[in-house]
Amino acid sequence: MACGVMLGTLAFWKLTDYMDKVRDEFMLLSVVREIRDAYIDEVPRSVLVDNAIRGVVAGLDNHSSYLDEDALALMEEDTLGHFGGIGVELELVDGYFTIVSPYDGGPAARAGIRAGDRLVEVDHESLRGRSLTETINGLRGEPGTAVHVRVRRRAATSLDFDLKRDTITVPSVHGRALGGGIGYVRVSQFNDTTGDDLAVVVAGLRAGDGLTGLILDLRNNPGGLLNAAVDVADAFLGRGVIVSTTGRQPVSERRYDANPGDLLEGAPMAVLINGGSASASEIVAAALKDHDRATVLGTKSYGKGSVQSVMYFRDTRAIKLTTARYLTPDGHSLQAEGVAPDVAVTPRDDEASGAYDERLLAAATTAVMGG
């Protein structure tokens, strides 16, 4: 009898929960219908639905977003790896359009725009009220065309830049020998070919003067594909966990382990990071740090430790939804925490970027030679 009462109570609560969900969804539909029928101006139903979805997603985190036709086109451009623009990775952070990282060699980087700058105007028009997609569309355009941007740096300091758009081809991997058997490898993003590109670059350095140590530069690397990050970390780790993901759905629970083998055969490493190192670059830095495979130098990384999944509802409509979080080999979340360097090397206020690079490389070289 007691068992029957318990089962009956459980069924009642399940039914109550189901009815609550139905009422909530019906209320949302009722609001859309009321606006469609009673608002002073006629609004197409497709616009109302788009706005409703956009509003629901906007209440989530900074990395979840509604992807309409324009936003999907931007995402496809990023996947192809080339487009016309000023060369910045832009995100909405605490309500501000924030430059996560300027791409190496792009118009923004050449002009002196930095990671952390807040974009406030494009072509002398305030960005207040604009969406992230609208803002990115305003920055992109035909190579050779002019665009004026205003950024806010630190407190209330505003800086103006007159830029010419260029064809932005986001590089993946390049390297050079620094002398004394020390190699330098720069990974600017993580795409489909990054793992293979890295292997080719390292092989070329080894075939030259040989490699007794390597400096891996992940500064201003906004991230990219998770599998590419796993490939890069795996290239230098012979065993152990690289990264794991955790979320509400069982499919979100995954673990990525290193395979035997090390491109450097145990030669010491240093990894360079800064506030523009995000997502996939943080996965690599954390994995090499947690396994004591490399000394991490520079400044604290960005702190994007979440996984986004793209869910398509129509051919031209989708949502990018945060579905999981990354965990480092030591079990720590990267979200909002980032990776702290083993050796902090902070740029001085009056220090030119070239002078800082030299000082940071000198510190990394010392760490590698002492490793």
Catalytic residues: 279, 290, 304
Q: Pick the closest to residue 166 from 117, 222, 90, 104 (CA basis).
A: 104
The DSSP result for 227-238, as a single string, is HHHHHHHHTT-S
Q: Pick the closest to residue 258 from 240, 280, 283 (CA basis).
A: 240
Q: Which residues of 335-353 are buried (b: 16+ CB within 10 A; e: fewer)?
A: beebbebeeebebeeeeee
Question: Residue 255: helix, strand or coil by DSSP?
Answer: strand
- The pairs formed by 153-162 with CB atoms below 8 angstroms and a separation of 24 or more are 153/114, 153/116, 153/117, 153/118, 158/120, 159/117, 161/108, 161/111, 161/112, 161/113
CA 287-291-294 angle, to 5 degrees, is 80
Distances from the Cα of 166 to the Cα of 71, 84, 145, 186, angstroms: 20, 5, 8, 22
Helix (H) or strand (E) holding 210: none
Pairing of strands 88-93, 82-85: unpaired
Q: How far apart are CA 88 and CA 15, in angstroms?
A: 50
The DSSP result for 128-184, as a single string, is TT--HHHHHHHH--STT-EEEEEEEETTTEEEEEEEE-EEEE---EEEEEEETTEEE
**Angle, nearest 10°, between helix axes 226-234 and 280-290?**
30
Q: Pick the closest to residue 163 from 134, 103, 123 (CA basis).
A: 123
Contact predicate 311/64, CB 8 Å: no
Residue with tokens 């989530």: 60
